[in-house]
Structure 1
Amino acid sequence: MQSKKTALLFIFITILVDVIGIGIILPIIPDLIMELTGEGTAMAVIYGMWLTTAFAGMQFLFSPILGEISDQYGRRPILLIALLGLSIDYLIHAWAPTIIWLFLGRFLAGITGASFTVASAYIADISTKEEKAKNFGLIGAAFGLGFIIGPGIGGFFGEVDIRLPFYIAAGLTFSNFLFGYFFVPESLTPENRRPINVLKMIPGVSLASLRNYKGVLLLIVAFFLANLAGQSLPAVWSYYGIERYDWSPREIGISLMVVGLLVAVVQGFLVGIVVKKIGKKRTVVIGFTLWTIGMFLFSQASEPWMLYAFLVPYALGGVAGPTIQGIISNQVSEKEQGNLQGAITGLLSVTAILGQLLFSPVFYYFIRPEADIYFPGAPYALAALLLFLAFLFAFMAMKKMDLQDDESVHSKDVLPH
């Protein structure tokens, strides 16, 4: 039991430092890009879009590769190599003399950040079917906490020196590498290992191999659409705050910290409680309803206090995400968890790419001087529509599944005592 708790702590911190790396970038990337290029804000937006695309593209390509390798050789060595690589990557960011070096750093960050796949598979390895929704909630909690720490480091230490946050992130990541090396065991037992299938390393192929599992592809589509909608926040949040509220980098950082705090509380503590009380199906339905309402309200927030208030239903809706991920994992063989998580992480990387290419242009279109309708909240209105579509796919998928715990709000099988 103690080793299991240690392992979960390690995975939590691993995902946390990945997200910190993303969170650090958001408040300081405009100033860093302008420092390296000598360009103004308008071009900084374009560079920022392509930097995010480079990061997400590498995650998309390498997520199925790392997931497939980990199904044969185990999760621990892949995670440790990725953490060591990420430590080096943060130093590349800190030392970058030109924008080209920043792009190289983002490429390496995408490759090492693909360890999210293996971390998710590790959770699946050590969790019972009843524990998965709760334990996958740790991923959401790590994301939330990462978006507290990351923007905090970026926004506050970045004012001391624009590159100082990267040194801090490098130290945190290397510390976690040492923790994992000395204290964390392997999670994948020999009987659950299988030979590498090279075809499954090709992005998208791993999804096709899952078509025989009842309802899984529909749920993955729902998961994909929900996460695509969620990309509206990192894509335009900073620029939305500047355009609508005239926010400074510090105010942007504070707002992202609030987002992270709410997400961490909901996904770290409420998911297991809610699933235990009302079951998986009802959790997904209520979660998507709150998600959609909160996202649409973002588009209507004319004052900063309104945006903060509307974060509450949006964050509460986050109970749906890890619940869906737990349902998906339970439908797939233990020998296919690395492949499954690689497919899911690859899709999430695609959402990061598409989110930039979708929401940024929509935001620009509705704030440009010649726009017929001035509507800076347009990306969030579009995201709310995507969340509604995601709910429809999830509902159709769950109708095909026998989720017995949903028949009773007093089920004793959802969480261990």
Structure 2
Amino acid sequence: MGALTFDMDNKPESGTARRRSSFKYTPSKEDLLAVDNEISVDALPTYYTAIRMVPIMLCVGLATGTVQPVLTELIKIRTCQVELNFTDEICDHINNHTREAKAVQRVTSQIKMYETLIDSLPAMFFSLFLGSWSDEYGRKLPMMLPFVGLIIAHGFTLVNTYVRISPYFLMLTPFITAATGGMILVNVAVFSFVGDYTNDRTRSPNLAIVDAAHFLVRFAGSAIGGQLMRFGESVPFYLAISLHVCSFLYVFFVIHEKRTFRNIKECKMSDVITFERVKDNWRTLSKRRPGHNRLFLLLIIGCIIISAICVIGDMSITQLYLEFDPFNWTLQHYTLYNAINGVIEGVIMVLVNIVLRRFFTISDTMIGAIASLSAVMHLLFYGLATSSTLIYVAAGVGVLKMLGFVSIKSVTIALVDRDEIGKLMSTKMSLMSIAPFIGVTIFTNIFTHTNEWWPGFCFVLGACMTSPVVFVFLAFYLVQRRQAKSASSTGTTVSAAESLDDIKTKV
């Protein structure tokens, strides 16, 4: 496998066409092609990976945001109509019938729990192998494969919008999606691609832009889905299928690898699913690294699992939480709130990340601590809310919470070698796949038994579970500062934004 180079002096001759930036040398397309697949990451445009990955994440985010609340609403309607066999009069005005509403809420939350579990199992299996495989054969195929499953899955749901069937049949949708990797494999491939073509200076801004693009349109899609459902239950799924087709075609025709990978024609099925690939993933976590970096890597991955458990667990009940007493939101109200909140979070995610790193040289670990504290306050206010006004306050104090996931991606990628990025991403996503099992099972069951006396109890529980993440980030920020001070005492200049590996190298 070809290695990436980091030689800033390796520039084309003066006669070669080029573009110049006020910040750094930027080669033309011809310059990049001339190096025959062995590229200099430092010579790439600053936002090279963001420009290429954002269209994918825009389509994925918009499609996911459009169908997710609609699918929940469809399950709720079918639960009322078919599973509980209530009359159309009751189902159309379910909030006016307290006993029936609680029954619909309870059954729907259980079906959503099963749906989330089904969505995770096959995807977790695939990501264990395909992340390591992509380190050898490239990111393109793992990036395309999930869209095939998404097209088939949403096509199946589209057919079922025309007939009244048991809501349990709708659980086939996440199964089909997960059988081809689902969003787990999309994330593994996309963020591995970002890791391939960024360095310590450009990695965090690119990750923030890619993540923000996904969140922006995902929540905007939530509002679009709610409005489209007024024209029929099937309309949002037509849009989602079209977006997945566009994503597949974009990856196929536009995305090109600039690293040297093995020829995919040489790959056999026996090369994909092997126990050796699972062992490779484990070695990535257990490998001895300089100083405290291995401990740092393991604890940060632990942080993202805890955060994911709380986020996924609470997201699985949020819509049901807000659509019943004491809030009684409509689907349109909920999706509009989701859209506005998501757009604001996405914009702030990019702006705050760039401002904190470029102008204040604040490290990713401190940004992670700030974001985790924002998440804790968000969940706490959510759980204690008794009116819609307090829900809006909770959204305000939690506006920085998604920055934590950007910080975790940036820090963990910086702690491994470039040919370990795919293994790291697949291992991390596989471990995160445990989060739905734990989060949805625990939070849904707790919500089912507490919604009559304290509907927000699950959110307060999530705040308590997320609190230790703040202290982990702060502890390692202090380690960074101590390493920086040690480096400074030897006459080496470092900034607070540098990773532990950078500091140890300079020492």
CA distance in 2, matches of 1:53, 1:22: 17
Equivalent position of 1:263 in the other structure: 345
Paired residue total: 406
**Unmatched tracts of structure 2, length 5 or more:** 1-25, 30-44, 85-103, 486-492, 503-507
Is contact 1:23–1:150 with CA below 8 Å preserved after alignment? yes
Choose 1 or 2 for highest CA Rg. Answer: 2
Partner Cα separation in structure 1 for residue 475 and residue 408 of structure 2: 13
Deviation per CA, 1:121-161: give whole Å up to 9, x if none: 01111111222222221343134224323312321111211
Q: How does 1:255-334 map to 2 (within 5 A)?
A: 255-276=337-358, 277=360, 278-334=362-418
C-alpha separation between the residues in 2 aligned to 1:207 and 1:360? 31
Q: Does 1:27 align with 2:108?
A: no
Q: How does 1:76-87 map to 2 (within 5 A)?
A: 76-87=140-151
1:116 paired with 2:180, answer no
The residue number in structure 2 matching 1:348 is 432
Determine whether 1:154 maps to 2:238: no
Q: Do the aligned residues in 2 keep the contact of 1:63 with 1:115 (CA within 8 Å)?
A: no
Shift of 1:199: 2.7
Kindly provide the amino acid, as one letter, of the partner of residue 237 in structure 1.
T
Whole-angstrom distance in 1 between the partners of 2:437 and 2:107: 18
What does the per-residue CA deviation read over 1:317-374, in whole Å, with 9 as the maximum and x for residues that have no partner? Answer: 3323211220110011111111111112222322123221121122222223xxxxx2
Q: 1:372-383 alignment to 2 at 5 Å?
A: 374-383=453-462
Displacement after TM superposition at 1:396 (Å): 4.0
**Equivalent residue number for residue 155 of structure 2:** 91
**1:290 Cα deviation (Å)?**
2.1
Distance 1:7 1:108, change over 3 A: farther
Aligned: 1:388 with 2:467? yes
Corresponding position of 1:230: 311
Instruction: Give 2:153's aligned amino acid.
Output: D
- For CA contacts below 8 A with separation 6 or more, give which structure has more relative contact order: 1
Judged with a 3 Å threshold, the aligned counterparts in structure 2 of structure 1 residues 81 and 232 are, in CA distance, closer, same or farther, namely: closer
CA distance in 2 between counterparts of 1:63 and 1:12 reads: 22
Percent identity over the alignment is: 18
- Cα displacement (A) at 1:291: 2.1
State the distance in 1 between where 2:276 and 2:250 align: 31
**Matched residue SS, 2:329:** coil
> Residues 200 and 331 (structure 1 numbering): CA distance in 2 closer, same or farther, change over 3 Å?
farther
RMSD of the alignment, in Å? 3.1
Q: 1:156 to 1:217 in 2, by over 3 A?
A: same
Q: Give the partner amino acid of 1:274.
A: L
State whether structure 2 residue 239 is matched by structure 1 residue 168. Answer: yes
Q: State the distance in 2 between where 1:35 and 1:298 align.
A: 26
CA contact (8 A) 2:203 2:410 kept: yes
Instruction: Kindly state the Cα deviation for residue 90 of structure 1 after the two structures are TM-superposed.
Output: 2.0
- Measured after TM superposition, the shift of residue 177 of structure 1 is 2.0
Task: Look up the equivalent residue of 1:166 and give its one-letter code.
Answer: F
The equivalent of 1:69 in structure 2 is: 133
Shift of residue 388 of structure 1?
Answer: 0.9
Q: Distance in 2 between matches of 1:200 and 1:258?
A: 46
Q: Distance in 2 between matches of 1:176 and 1:338?
A: 21
Q: 2:173 aligned with 1:105, yes or no?
A: yes
313, 323, 329: which one aligns with 1:242 = 323
Find the aligned partners of 2:444 and 2:174 in 1 and give their Cα distance. Answer: 19
Using a 3 Å threshold, how does the CA distance of structure 1 residues 245 and 26 change in structure 2: closer, same or farther?
Answer: farther
Cα distance 1:325–1:183, how it changes in 2: closer, same or farther (>3 A)?
Answer: same
3-state DSSP of counterpart to 1:190 = coil
Give, in whole Å, the separation in 2 of the partners of 1:30 and 1:112: 18
Q: CA separation of 1:297/1:75 partners in 2, compared to 1, >3 Å: closer, same or farther?
A: same
Give the Cα separation in 1 of the matches to 2:338 and 2:477. 33
Aligned pair in 2 of structure 1 residues 220, 393: CA closer, same or farther (>3 Å)? Answer: same
3-state SS, counterpart of residue 11 of structure 1: helix
CA 1:393–1:206 in structure 2 vs 1: closer, same or farther (change >3 Å)?
farther
Deviation, structure 1 residue 80: 2.1
| TM-score scaled by length of structure 2 | 0.72
Letter in 1 for 2:356: V
CA-to-aligned-CA distance 1:186-209 (integer Å, 9 cap, x gap): 154339x9986823654x972453
Could you tell me which residue of structure 1 aligns to residue 448 of structure 2? 364
Q: Which residue of 2 aligns with 1:198?
A: 274
Cα gap change, 1:199 to 1:211, in 2 (>3 Å)? same
The answer as to whether partners of 1:221 and 1:393 remain within 8 angstroms in 2 is: no
What TM-score does the superposition give when structure 1 sets the normalisation length?
0.87
| Structure 1 gap ranges (5+) | 369-373
Q: Deviations over 1:78-117 (max 9, x none)?
A: 2123223322332222123655653232112222322211
Among candidates 210, 214, 232, match of residue 285 of structure 2: 210
Secondary structure, in 3 states, of the residue corresponding to 2:201?
coil
Tell me how far apart the structure 2 counterparts of residues 351 and 19 of structure 1 sit (CA, whole Å).
Answer: 20
Query: Could you tell me which amino acid in structure 2 is paired with residue 112 of structure 1?
Result: G
CA contact (8 A) 1:228 1:351 kept: yes
Distance 1:72 1:410 in 2: 31
Which of 55, 65, 74 is the aligned partner of 2:119? 55
On the 8 A contact 2:194/2:207 being kept in 1, the answer is yes
User: Equivalents in 1 of 2:210, 2:434: separation in Å?
Assistant: 19
Report how far residue 279 of structure 1 moved: 2.5
